[in-house]
Structure formats: C-alpha cells, structure tokens
Amino acid sequence: MDTYLKHLISNSPSRLISFADYIGAALYHPQFGYYMKDKQKIGRQGDFITTSNISDVYGRLIANWFSRLCKTAIIEPIFCEIGAGNGRFAQSFLKEWHDTINTPLQYIIVETSPFHRNLQKELLKNYPSVIQIENLMELQAFEGVIFSNELFDALPVHVIEKRHGQLFEVMVGYQSEGLVEQMIPLENEDILRFLQESDMMLRDNQRMEIPIVMEKMLQNISNVLTKGFVVTADYGYTNEEWMNPRRAEGSLRGYHQHRMIDNVLENPGEMDITTHIHFDYLIQKGEQVSLQLLTKLRQDEFLVKSGILKELEDHYDPNPFSEVSKRNRAIRSLIMPSGMSSYFHVIIQQKGLHMSESELFSL
C-alpha cells in the first residue's frame, strides 16, 4: 500500500492528493484496501463492532418491522442491504423471517468486498432467497427497502480547515518520513458548494470533513428505487452539532483492534477509517433526489418503537447465566442511555409513497 500511495502522490500534478483519494485507496483499493483484504474486521477478533454483532435481536426486529411495513405500505417483500459485512445482520433477519413470518422474500446484498461476499455465502448458504451483487446500479426498478448500517461513515471525505480567516483543504503528501498533511487554499468547487448549501461557517482553527461522495450515493440509490424506503442507520451530527466547539478537530478517526487512532495516515490499508456523517446534508440531498424524509430517530428510540421491549417481556429467565439472560443483557445494552444505540440515528426516507411517520410503527 505504501508503494502504491507514494506512486499515486508522485504522479499527481501537485504531488498531493485529497483525503478523499487517500481514504478511497486505503479502504477500497482492490488489492491493498482495508475492506478488500482477507482478514477479519468486525467483532472481538477484528477492529470494530457493529450493532448487529452485539445481538441477533437487531436483525430480527428489522425483519418483523419490514413484514408489517410491506402490509401497511403495500410494497414488495424485497429487502436490499448495502454493505452487509460479515453477514450477521442478514443471518438474524433471515432466520426470523423463516421461523416466524414464513412468507416469500427476496434478500439482496450489495457487497464490493470479495472477502465479505465469501463470508456471507458461507453464513447464508441455507437461505436460497439471498442474491449477492457487487454494485448498486445492478438493481433496476427496485421496489422495497434499501437498508444500510454504518455505510455513509465509511465513504471517502475531503478535509478542510480554517486558519487566520482563510479556508484551506488539507491534502496528503509524501516526504522522507512518510505520509504527511499539507494545506492548500481551498479551491474545490464541490466543497465550496457544500458549505454554501449547508450554510456552514467554520471558526478559526476548526477542521471538518466534507462528504462530497454522499450526494452521488444518494443519487444512485434514488435512481434504482422506484417505490419504497431508504433506511440509514449511522452516527453523525446535525449542522448545529458540527458547530459546537467540541467538534473543532473534526471526526476523522481510525480503528485498529478496537483502539481509536487519531492519525489516519498511519498504516494505510491496515485499519478502518471512519467519520461522523452530516445528517442535515443527507436529508437535504435526499429531498433533492426525490427521497422524502419520513423520520429521524435515535437508534434506541427506533428499537423501542419497533418492539424491542416486548422481546424482554416475552423472554425472561431468572437464571443470570442462561443464554436467554445473556441475550436480554445484550438487548438492554442497545436501549440504555449510555449504550451503543444512543450514538446512532435511523433516518427513514420514502419514494413513490405518501406514508406518515405514525404509520411506520402502526401495527
């Protein structure tokens, strides 16, 4: 990866590349990219953990909610997951559907990583309704739900910073000591347009990540979706929260063996790189491409509305060492104020429908 990045930088006109180009290579290069490598990334033996790896209840709840949604909204029982990782969410979703709902279903996984596709094939081999594709644009006239969990936070971003009243783009260069940051006056028209549309005014010494590729992703989703919902689970900030002085250093971080790494230029291709997403921009751009906002909820609020408390009521076991009790503790960890879900939000958008927020959880 180092050799590739050095070559990429030395062949660029300014001998600098944007952080977006760097992250794109570090995460998604076909051979050297972190997500493309044959190594475990999710879970205790990996570098980070997701909600679906805490408990199978997350996938099971979404399955039951989706089955009710199909009846309420009269949409096809087709569920598309973008970036399914190790397949744990899909497995819990499909098991619940097979065991409890037991009606026809088509489950589509969009996955670019060959390593993850192989994991998914093995884990989901008993579910013939699963279809794997490599690119979202392989879908045509899709009707149903397009779901993602921690997708947008892993997309490449540009980085900007304001110093002495002037905006700069933070670039990546190469010197004898390795990869380094270098700032140039901000001239990127896409970034300037983002700031104008978002009405964001950085303070001096404030740094921020700019998600230009988010707009393209939303446009692609809208292009393939004719009727249905887009459900996005991720962590991020509103514009107001971004302007809080505590966010002055931005949110770009790396994760390696469950340790947070501040300098994402360390060991490219060997760790996850992530940022908090811009919620207001996702909603604003969604509206512009015909994805109408239905609701934005904290993930724990979404889980409660979807019936997670009933799971606790229906599956009580006084034995603290039983599998049921372990599972119930995992459920509580998803809805406690200090738990993982309190940092996440679920954004639900619709296209070709006219549902109200109350109807989402009416049954």
Q: What is the DSSP string of 2-26?
A: HHHHHHHHHTSTTS-EEHHHHHHHH
C-alpha closest to that of 148 among 50, 77, 39 = 50
Residue 271 in this model has a pLDDT that exceeds 70: yes
- Is position 217 within any domain? no
- Is position 271 within any domain? no
pLDDT at residue 5 in the model: 95
pLDDT in tens, 149-171: 999 999 999 999 999 999 999 99
Cα 140 from chain centroid (whole Å):
22
Surface-to-core class of residue 12, CB atoms within 10 Å of its CB (0-12 exposed, 13-18 middle, 19+ buried): middle
pLDDT in tens, 40-84: 656 555 655 666 666 788 899 999 999 999 988 789 999 999 999
Same domain, 186 and 293: no
Q: Over pLDDT 90: what percentage of the chain?
A: 73
pLDDT in tens, 119-148: 999 999 999 999 999 999 999 999 999 999
Same domain, 295 and 327: yes
pLDDT at residue 350 in the model: 97
Give pTM, 2 decimals: 0.92
Residue 114 in this model has a pLDDT that exceeds 80: yes
- Is position 219 within any domain? no
- Is position 215 within any domain? no
Eight-class DSSP state of 38: S
CATH number of the domain where residue 87 is located = 3.40.50.12710
Average pLDDT over residues 296-325: 76
pLDDT at residue 42 in the model: 62
Same domain, 105 and 5: no
Residue corresponding to tokens 């933070």: 170
- Is position 192 within any domain? yes
Same domain, 117 and 262: no
Distance of alpha carbon 126 from alpha carbon 123, whole angstroms: 8
C-beta of residue 189 within 8 angstroms of C-beta of residue 271 = no
Residue 320 in this model has a pLDDT that exceeds 70: no
Same domain, 164 and 253: yes
Distance of alpha carbon 283 from alpha carbon 294, whole angstroms: 10
The better pLDDT of the pair 351, 47 is held by: 351
pLDDT at residue 208 in the model: 98
Largest distance between two CA atoms of the chain:
67
Residue 10 in this model has a pLDDT that exceeds 80: yes
Same domain, 44 and 144: yes
Query: Half-sphere exposure (CA, 13 Å, Cβ side) for 231?
Result: 20
Same domain, 194 and 285: no
Q: Over pLDDT 70: what percentage of the chain?
A: 89
Domain containing residue 283: 36-151+224-233+276-360
pLDDT at residue 72 in the model: 86
Q: What is the mean pLDDT of the chain?
A: 90
- Is position 134 within any domain? yes
pLDDT at residue 159 in the model: 98
At 39, the pLDDT band (50, 70, 90 cuts) reads: confident
Distance of alpha carbon 341 from alpha carbon 46, whole angstroms: 20
Q: Domain count for the chain, please give it.
A: 2
The backbone torsions φ and ψ at residue 300, rounded to the nearest 5 degrees and listed phi first, read -65, -35
At 315, the pLDDT band (50, 70, 90 cuts) reads: low
At 259, the pLDDT band (50, 70, 90 cuts) reads: confident
Residue partners of 262: CB distance under 8 A and separation at least 6: 253, 254
The better pLDDT of the pair 329, 346 is held by: 346
The answer to which of 158-167, 258-267, 280-289 has the lowest mean pLDDT is 258-267
Same domain, 240 and 252: yes
C-beta of residue 109 within 8 angstroms of C-beta of residue 43 = no
- Is position 137 within any domain? yes
pLDDT in tens, 217-240: 999 999 999 999 999 999 999 999
pLDDT at residue 48 in the model: 57
At 308, the pLDDT band (50, 70, 90 cuts) reads: confident
pLDDT at residue 282 in the model: 98
